[in-house]
C-alpha cells in the first residue's frame, strides 16, 4: 500500500510509535510517506521505502499563530494526488485528525476516497484534547475518521467517557523491537558510571510535569538513604530539568545523579539498569516502561492509566498509589536488595514485553488497514 503517516517528531511517545511503525511497514514492502513539521527523531531518511515530507508553513506577519493544520491538510492532499496514497494514518488526534478530515473532504470533491485512520495516544484525549478550547473539534474529527485505534484499554474507555464518540475504537497496543531492546553487554559503560559496582536506577521521559521527575529524585534519595549504593541515570530533557537539578543540589546527591539528556540509543542505558522508575501522574500506556522491561529491567510505576496493563504488580515490578514515594522507595529497596527476586522480576519483565512483539502488532495494523479500506 501507499501509506501516509502523520506524527509529531518527538523523541518519545507517539512520534516513536509512528516512526517505528513506518519503518516496519516499509520493510514489509509498503511505500510510506511521513509528514511532520520536523524530521521524526527515530527516522533515518536514507531508509528505503520511506519518504519524509516536511510540512512547511508560510509565515505571514498577520499570523500570530501560523495555521499548521491547514498546511498539513494541503500537504496531505498533495501526497494523495502525487504519491497516490491509499490511506492516511495519523498519530495523535490534535490537529492531525482534523487536517486529515479536511484533506479527505477535498479529495472527495474530486471523487477520490481515501480512508483516514486515527491512533489515539494519550494526552490528545486526557490532557489536551478534552480541554474546552479544543474539545468539539477533536470529538468531531475522531468520530469522522474511518478507523480509530487506541494504545490501551484504559485509553479506549477514557475516550468514550470524555467524548461523545460513536465510532468503534480498536485497541492496538504499542509494540517493541525485541531484538533492539534487549539486555546487551555494556560492561565498559557500567564500569565508567559505577566504579564501585553500584546499582543503576534509570528514568526516561520528556521531563514534563506529568512525568513527576522530582518524585523520581525523592525516591532515589530514599533508596540511597537506606544504604543501597546506587546511581540514578536520567535520560531525556524538558521543562522540569532545572527543577530536578536544583533538587539534587538541595539534597546533596549530585555526585550520584547523571543527567544524560536526549539519547538515540536508550537501550544502551537500559542494558546496565537494575531498576526503572516511572511515577507518572498520567500515562495511557507507558512506552518507556515497555522499553525497560524488554531490556529485562523491573519497573516501579504509579498504578494509574494504562500502566497496570503493562507493568504487572508483583511480577514485572511493583505499582504504587500516585505520589506515594514511600511505597516506591520501599519496593525499590526490596528489589535491589534481593538478588533472587530481582532475577525473577527481570525475567518476567522480558516475558511480558514479548507480548508486545513489534512483528505481531504491526500485522494487526496491516489487517486493520485492510478492513477499514474494504468498508469504504
- Residues that bind ligand GMT in the complex, under the rule CB under 6 A: 10, 12-15, 17, 92, 121-123, 126, 151, 174, 206, 210, 282-287
Q: What angle do CA 357, 361, 364 make, to 5 degrees?
A: 155
CB of 121 to ligand GMT, least distance (A): 4
CB of 152 to ligand GMT, least distance (A): 8
**DSSP structure string for 335-370:** HHT-HHHHHHHHHHHHHHHGGGBHHHHHHHHHHHHH
Q: Which residues contact 236 (CB under 8 A, 6 or more apart)?
A: 11, 12, 204, 205, 206, 207, 261, 262, 263
Looking at the Cβ atoms of 174 and 271, the one nearer to ligand GMT is 174
Looking at the Cβ atoms of 55 and 114, the one nearer to ligand GMT is 55
Looking at the Cβ atoms of 156 and 199, the one nearer to ligand GMT is 156
SS3 296: coil
CB of 281 to ligand GMT, least distance (A): 8
Looking at the Cβ atoms of 21 and 336, the one nearer to ligand GMT is 21
CB of 178 to ligand GMT, least distance (A): 17
For 220-235, letters b (16+ CB in 10 Å) and e give bbbbbeeebebbbbbb
Strands (E), 11-85: 31-36, 50-54
Closest CA to 86 of 109, 55, 117: 117
CB of 203 to ligand GMT, least distance (A): 13
CB of 173 to ligand GMT, least distance (A): 9
Cell readout for 273 is: 539498569
Question: Looking only at Cα atoms, what is the longest distance across the chain?
Answer: 70
Using CB atoms, what's the residue nearest to ligand GMT?
13
Cell readout for 108 is: 472527495
The dihedrals phi and psi of 32, each to the nearest 5 degrees, come to -110, 135
CA atoms lying within 13 Å on the CB side of residue 258: 14
Cα distances (angstroms) measured from residue 274 to each of 2, 17, 215: 42, 25, 18
Closest CA to 75 of 37, 47, 48, 35: 35
**In angstroms, rounded to a whole number, what is the distance separating the alpha carbons of residues 277 and 275?**
7
Looking at the Cβ atoms of 107 and 290, the one nearer to ligand GMT is 290
Looking at the Cβ atoms of 92 and 276, the one nearer to ligand GMT is 92
CB of 210 to ligand GMT, least distance (A): 5
Any idea of the CA torsion for 64, 68, 70, 74, to the nearest 10 degrees?
Answer: 140
CB of 174 to ligand GMT, least distance (A): 5
The helices-and-strands tally (H runs, E runs) of the chain is 15, 13
CB of 208 to ligand GMT, least distance (A): 6
Looking at the Cβ atoms of 171 and 210, the one nearer to ligand GMT is 210
Q: What count of residues does the chain have?
A: 376
CB of 187 to ligand GMT, least distance (A): 30
Looking at the Cβ atoms of 31 and 174, the one nearer to ligand GMT is 174
Looking at the Cβ atoms of 11 and 223, the one nearer to ligand GMT is 11
Looking at the Cβ atoms of 49 and 281, the one nearer to ligand GMT is 281
Amino acid at each position: 500500500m501507499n501509506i501516509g503517516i502523520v506524527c509529531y517528531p518527538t523523541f518519545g511517545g507517539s512520534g516513536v510509535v509512528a516512526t517505528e511503525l513506518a519503518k516496519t511497514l516499509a520493510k514489509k514492502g509498503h511505500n510510506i510517506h511521513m509528514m511532520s513539521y520536523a524530521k521524526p527523531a527515530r527516522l533515518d531518511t536514507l531508509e528505503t521505502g520511506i519518504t519524509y515530507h516536511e510540512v512547511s508553513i508560510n509565515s505571514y506577519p498577520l499570523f500570530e499563530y501560523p495555521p499548521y493544520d491547514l498546511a498539513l491538510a494541503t500537504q496531505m492532499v498533495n501526497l494523495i494526488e502525487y504519491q497516490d496514497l491509499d490511506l492516511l494514518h495519523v498519530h495523535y488526534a490534535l490537529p492531525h485528525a482534523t487536517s486529515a478530515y479536511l484533506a479527505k473532504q477535498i479529495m472527495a470533491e474530486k471523487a477520490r476516497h481515501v480512508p483516514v485512520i486515527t491512533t489515539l495516544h494519550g494526552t490528545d484525549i486526557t490532557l489536551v484534547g478534552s480541554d474546552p478550547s479544543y474539545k468539539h473539534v477533536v470529538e468531531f474529527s475522531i468520530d469522522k475518521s474511518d478507523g480509530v485505534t487506541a494504545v490501551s484499554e484504559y485509553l479506549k474507555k477514557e475516550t468514550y467517557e470524555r467524548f461523545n464518540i460513536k465510532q468503534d475504537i480498536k485497541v492496538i497496543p504499542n509494540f517493541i523491537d525485541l531484538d533492539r531492546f534487549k539486555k546487551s553487554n555494556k560492561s565498559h559503560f557500567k564500569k565508567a558510571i559505577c566504579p564501585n559496582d553500584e546499582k543503576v536506577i534509570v528514568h526516561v521521559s520528556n521531563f514534563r510535569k506529568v512525568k513527576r521527575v522530582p518524585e523520581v529524585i525523592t525516591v532515589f534519595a530514599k533508596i540511597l538513604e537506606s544504604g543501597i549504593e546506587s546511581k540514578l541515570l536520567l535520560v531525556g530533557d524538558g521543562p522540569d530539568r532545572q527543577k530536578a537539578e536544583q533538587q539534587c543540589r538541595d539534597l546533596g546527591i549530585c555526585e550520584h545523579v547523571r543527567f544524560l539528556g536526549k539519547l538515540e540509543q536508550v537501550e544502551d542505558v537500559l542494558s546496565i539498569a537494575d531498576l526503572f522508575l516511572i511515577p507518572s501522574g498520567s500515562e495511557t500506556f507507558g512506552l518507556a516502561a515497555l522499553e525497560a522491561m524488554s531490556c529485562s529491567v523491573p519497573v516501579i510505576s504509579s498504578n494509574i492509566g494504562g500502566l497496570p496493563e503493562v507493568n504487572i504488580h508483583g511480577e514485572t515490578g511493583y505499582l504504587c498509589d500516585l505520589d506515594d514515594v514511600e511505597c516506591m522507595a520501599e519496593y525499590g529497596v526490596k528489589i535491589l536488595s534481593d538478588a533472587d527476586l530481582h532475577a525473577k522480576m527481570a525475567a518476567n519483565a522480558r516475558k511480558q514485553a514479548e507480548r508486545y512483539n513489534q512483528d505481531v502488532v504491526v500485522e494487526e495494523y496491516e489487517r486493520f488497514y485492510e478492513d477499514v479500506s474494504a468498508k469504504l
